Chain A
Amino acid sequence: MIAYIIRRLLHTILVVFAISLIIFFSVRLTGDPVSVMFQAGEPTKEAIAEVRKNLGLDEPLYVQYGIFLKGLITFDFGESFRSGMPVMDLIKEKLGATLALAFGGMAVAIMIAFPVGIVSAVKRGTGVDFFGRIFSLIGISFPNFWLGIMLILIFAVNLKWLPSSGFESFKHLILPSITLGMILSGILARLVRSSMLEVMNQQYISTAKSKGISDFAVIIKHAFRNALLPTVTFLGLQFGALLGGTVIVEQIFSWPGIGRLIIDAINQRDYPVIQGGVIFLAVIMVAVNLVIDLSYTLIDPRIKIGGSRS
């Protein structure tokens, strides 16, 4: 187990190195950052050269990359070209909001999708199943910008129950979480339903029923626990996606998250922020995957990590 974790950590270092290469060189294909910095008037050549020198952009590329790598080791991504603030501080500032939104969306998705998926599977072929499947379809098909705007219209503008933008309190989290969670819950409910259906056909479900235990115990204790494995894999991958890929939702709700931070940085060719943000998300993604792989051993005893079957 420990050997496995060490191996995975080494693997992570390789991944981060590869990403650093890709991100470093690809942002430099977007054009000269200095040219977009001067907004008024024609800058003099001296002025441009001065700025380039200050930002370290006058060095040869390999030297710049070397400096970037050296920073990585100490978790120092440099300073923003724009604000001059350390990139790490910028990320830290946004991390809370991003995590809150990711967890919020995830929680909404789980609260909706687990019951819907389970009931749909158990009542297969009935009206309840039909509505469950329609719900999934709607969840999958709704564009989230539309859903987000509708929610703002209804609950923020008309009813004035909830705030429409920013992140200052728990109340601010509700609408964006629902927007994010609804989309996710559509796919998740389908996944739960299909894995439940598969499990419900297994012989051990008949065994459980033949013991005379309640239907609830058969469904939750015996079937759902077994149906959980594919679900957890999916949730883990989605969690990673939620961290970086919620740009649209963050935009609609003016959410101060990492996704928006990176988008703004890209618009302004703020190299250090782009590099730092992307690397940070990559590391979190790899870490989440590791946690999920480890959690398999808790859910399914047949899976043993790093060892042979006994």
Chain B
Amino acid sequence: MVQKVLEVEELKVGIKDEDGGKIAIVNGINFHLHKGETLGIVGESGCGKSMTSLSLMGLLPAGVERHGGDIRLGNLNFNSFNKKDWRQIRGKKIAMIFQEPMSSLNPVYTVGAQINEMILNHERVSKKEARNRALEMLKLVGIPRPEQVLNEYPHQLSGGMRQRVMIAIALSCNPEVLIADEPTTALDVTIQAQILELMKKIQDQLHMSIVLITHDLGVVAEMCDRVIVMYAGEIVEESLVVDLFDQPSHPYTKGLLASLPDIQEQKEYLSSISGVVPAPGKMPVGCRFAPRCSFAHERCKEVPPLFEMENGSRVKCWLYEDGETEVAAK
């Protein structure tokens, strides 16, 4: 059995509304991450994937909070964390890279200073050692003329280079888990490919686990070992990448895949899933996808559990009730 690095159980994230009540954005999800594995989290905007990743860092925006569930990293349980504990985890055990490389580096500090800051914050090293480590990291992420780039400011670098710098910062303290929130969305296609390749290469070198958040199924196919598909704050399907593309189970996943253009097939229109993700607080009763689902039937008025399939995938849909074993949702 492969070692589990990160385990998330019944994670609930919500916004406080005006009456002091809570509106759920992430509604009790379970997943885990193996060592050296890349786990994809896919879903439309607003499905809760970014909030899930931010709650792993303890960096939920003001007004949004985690109000249930366990997050465990090795034998650390995040529930008992105070501010200081969080600071020791961030960057050191779990690091994060963001969607917008153009704005994720501070414009008024040099690249070197921004990498050093991370290293000096977590490691007991001298400034000179930190600088050497920073230089090493820039080489690792494939930055040409790293000595000069250390002294350059972010505006002097291209978007792709900045994302490489972000990766260098994130990996500079050798974290166990890297969370990449849409790391290539803002980049050109060719640069995207380079960055993804780089992440894969470094993952192999450092035996790191990656949580990759994306809405791009192409990126998932390229990068991930396992995928969870999120819809309206819930996991609707979890499976190996191979199975997801070969035999998508949940009607939502099928819809997502069907909406991809296919190079071998000429289509006048791409198919799409009609309707939009329901707003938090206005969720339908029963299966949350039912109002948009062409397979919806009577049974969908009840909340479906996650059913386990023969190939090990798990699907939250009544269509798979018969002949399949139900995974008891903890």
A residues within 8 Å of B by Cβ? Answer: 124, 202-204, 206-215, 222, 225-226, 299-302, 309-310
- Please name the residue on chain A nearest to B83 by beta carbon: A215
Q: How far is the CA of A310 from the CA of B156 in the complex (A)?
A: 7
Stretch at the interface among B93-101, B138-146, B207-215: B93-101
Question: Separation in Å of the A200 CB from the closest CB of chain B?
Answer: 10
Q: Contacting A300 at CB < 8 Å: which of B59, B92, B108, B121?
A: B108
Q: Is B271 an interface residue (CB 8 A)?
A: no
User: B104 to A204, Cβ gap below 8 A?
Assistant: yes
- Please name the residue on chain A nearest to B98 by beta carbon: A203
Question: Separation in Å of the A86 CB from the closest CB of chain B?
Answer: 47
Contact flag A203-B92 (CB < 8 Å), given A210-B57, A210-B59, A211-B118: no
User: A203 to B57, Cβ gap below 8 A?
Assistant: no
Contact flag A207-B104 (CB < 8 Å), given A212-B87, A212-B91, A213-B87: yes
Q: Could you say which residues of chain B place their CB within 8 Å of the CB of A209?
A: 59, 90
Q: Is B287 an interface residue (CB 8 A)?
A: no
Question: Separation in Å of the A228 CB from the closest CB of chain B?
Answer: 9
Q: Contacting A302 at CB < 8 Å: which of B95, B107, B169?
A: B107
Q: Could you say which residues of chain B place their CB within 8 Å of the CB of A210?
A: 57, 59, 90-91, 95-96, 170
Known: A204-B103, A207-B98, A226-B106. 6 other contacts (CB 8 A): A202-B103, A206-B98, A211-B90, A212-B87, A212-B88, A212-B121
Interface size on B, residues (CB 8 A): 33
Q: How far is the CA of A210 from the CA of B118 in the complex (A)?
A: 9
Q: Is B34 an interface residue (CB 8 A)?
A: no
Q: Is B254 an interface residue (CB 8 A)?
A: no
Contact residues of B: prevailing secondary structure = mixed
13 CB contacts below 8 A, A to B, read A203-B98, A203-B99, A203-B104, A206-B98, A207-B98, A207-B169, A209-B90, A212-B89, A212-B122, A213-B121, A226-B107, A301-B153, A309-B155
- Please name the residue on chain A nearest to B156 by beta carbon: A310
Q: Could you say which residues of chain A place their CB within 8 Å of the CB of B105?
A: 204, 207
User: B121 to A211, Cβ gap below 8 A?
Assistant: yes
Q: Is B320 an interface residue (CB 8 A)?
A: no
- Please name the residue on chain B nearest to A222 by beta carbon: B106
Q: Is B166 an interface residue (CB 8 A)?
A: yes
Q: Is B78 an interface residue (CB 8 A)?
A: no
Across the A-B interface, the 3 shortest Cβ-Cβ residue pairs: A212-B90, A203-B103, A212-B91
Q: Could you say which residues of chain B place their CB within 8 Å of the CB of A204?
A: 103-107
Q: Is B117 an interface residue (CB 8 A)?
A: yes
User: A206 to B107, Cβ gap below 8 A?
Assistant: no
Q: Could you say which residues of chain A place their CB within 8 Å of the CB of B153?
A: 301-302
Q: How far is the CA of A101 from the CA of B95 in the complex (A)?
A: 50
Contact flag A211-B117 (CB < 8 Å), given A206-B98, A301-B155, A310-B156: yes
Q: How far is the CA of A215 from the CA of B62 in the complex (A)?
A: 14
- Please name the residue on chain B nearest to A215 by beta carbon: B83
Q: How far is the CA of A309 from the CA of B153 in the complex (A)?
A: 12
User: B117 to A213, Cβ gap below 8 A?
Assistant: yes
* B148-176 to A contact mask, C-beta < 8 Å, 1/0: 00000101100000000010011000000
Q: Could you say which residues of chain B place their CB within 8 Å of the CB of A208?
A: 106
Q: Is B86 an interface residue (CB 8 A)?
A: yes
Q: How far is the CA of A309 from the CA of B107 in the complex (A)?
A: 14
Q: How far is the CA of A300 from the CA of B155 in the complex (A)?
A: 11
Q: How far is the CA of A22 from the CA of B59 in the complex (A)?
A: 59
Q: How far is the CA of A211 from the CA of B168 in the complex (A)?
A: 12
User: B87 to A302, Cβ gap below 8 A?
Assistant: no
Q: Could you say which residues of chain B place their CB within 8 Å of the CB of A300?
A: 107-108
